[in-house]
Amino acid sequence: MKFSNLVQALSLATLVASRPGTKTRKDNVEVPYGASPSGSSPLPSQSFVPFRVSSEASIVPSVGHAVVNNRCPFPVYIWSVGSAIGSAVTTGPNGCYAEPFRHDPKSGGVAIKITTVPDGLWKSAPLTIFAYNLAGDGQVWYDLSDIFGDPFKGYPVSLSPAEPAISWENGQPPAGSGVHVHDSVDDLVLTLC
């Protein structure tokens, strides 16, 4: 199932389960649909993390998603970084993070920075960076790299559908760097461990 179809199905399930015109957060506060207060989620963060889009970012209709599937036996910590740094998102084992591809008008691209250390972005911990740039021609340019070390050393890391394939059998990137391009309507899925 394409991720956008999953999001639509989950949104419909949330709508059916709550009162019309509102959704209920974990703390039993009702929020009108369309509002996105910080920390609100119709589902537990372990199974799905809602994407966040800053008011400065623009979204192109009918785009795919940058998806991070955490299959590791430990949590990972994720920040979406464009011209601003998004809030940290903790994704536990078998958890998923997703955001629609977007173009940041100030920085151009977006970097999804992932570490295995709480507050790792601020502590110069080893990071895996899933970077992308949504182009106006229906394509997304993307890259996968590590900085300050290899946070998933000893675990497989793969990004699909990538052509050529991006697969780090031992969690370490090969020498060099390669920018890839793909249709922006398709999801790109980074699988950790």
8 A C-beta contact, residue 49 and residue 39: no
Which residue ranges make up each domain of the chain? 1-43, 46-192
Identity (one letter) of the amino acid at 154? Answer: G
pTM score, whole prediction = 0.68
Which tokens in the block code for residue 69? Answer: 């599937």
Nearest to 2 by CA among 191, 190, 188, 192: 188
CATH label, 46-192, candidates 2.60.40, 2.60.110, 1.10.10, 1.10.287: 2.60.110
pLDDT digits (tens, 9 = 90+) for 59-115: 445 789 999 999 999 999 999 999 888 899 999 999 999 999 988 888 889 999 999
pLDDT at 38: 37
What is the rounded distance in angstroms from the CA atom of residue 158 to the CA atom of residue 191?
Answer: 5
